[in-house]
Chain A
Amino acid sequence: RKEVEQDPGPFNVPEGATVAFNCTYSNSASQSFFWYRQDCRKEPKLLMSVYSSGNEDGRFTAQLNRASQYISLLIRDSKLSDSATYLCVVPFSGGYQKVTFGTGTKLQVIP
């Protein structure tokens, strides 16, 4: 199993829709996870962290399912500006100072 796997998409959703992405990970000892957002030809930017209790920030909700080893990102009331690639990040199993990035899920919000 890969350290982290994401559905590459693209997810094409209309404005106002709710969309959810999942990301599976292999290291059962991982404690913290992150979602990053990457706009086309730009650097990734930290969107939110995911801990055991989950995390909510406005229209964005991140949750952790430790039993099934996946994290999810839910976006409610999608905006055109949400169009981007969403990267899942997990700590590297071989060392605490590194992380592994997923290849990302592309979201396209359509007018």
Chain B
Amino acid sequence: SQTIHQWPATLVQPVGSPLSLECTVEGTSNPNLYWYRQAAGRGLQLLFYSVGIGQISSEVPQNLSASRPQDRQFILSSKKLLLSDSGFYLCAWGGLAGVEQFFGPGTRLTVL
């Protein structure tokens, strides 16, 4: 069966510091991968998605970036965090059509 891992589970970072969040998927090949952010009390905002190694589509222009160095690895990064980057970051994988998506446990990021 497929599983999806994210780490760390929680993170507290100062403004201006870098960020690296990692997501890995097991049990499936060539998945579509997604990064979402959920601000407190808000809906899910799609940040990036990837249909293959090295292929990244950005949904929201901001100070975040994503990379997919391996088929089942998806990384979210920032060079300098802003206060507004605080939120619950969720990685998800989906099949070719991408309509059913399955989420990892998420990373709760607080930027101070």
Contact = CB atoms under 8 A, between A and B. Distances in A.
Contacts of B101: 46, 89, 99
Given A43-B105, A101-B43, A96 B100 contact: no
Given A41-B108, A44-B44, A104-B43, A97 B49 contact: yes
B43 A97 contact: no
A34 B99 CA distance: 8
Contacts of A42: 105-106
Given A97-B32, A98-B49, A103 B42 contact: yes
Contact of A49 (B49, B100, B108): B100
A32 B42 contact: no
Interface string A70-111: 000000000000000001010100001111011110000000
B102 A46 contact: yes
Contacts, number: 49
Contacts of B96: 97
A64 to B, nearest CB: 14
A44 B46 CA distance: 14
Nearest to B90: A43
B97 A43 contact: no
Given A44-B44, A46-B102, 5 more contacts: A46-B100, A89-B101, A98-B98, A103-B42, A104-B43
21 contacts: A34-B100, A41-B88, A41-B108, A42-B106, A43-B103, A43-B104, A43-B106, A44-B44, A46-B101, A87-B44, A91-B99, A96-B99, A97-B49, A97-B51, A97-B98, A99-B101, A101-B36, A101-B43, A102-B43, A103-B42, A104-B43
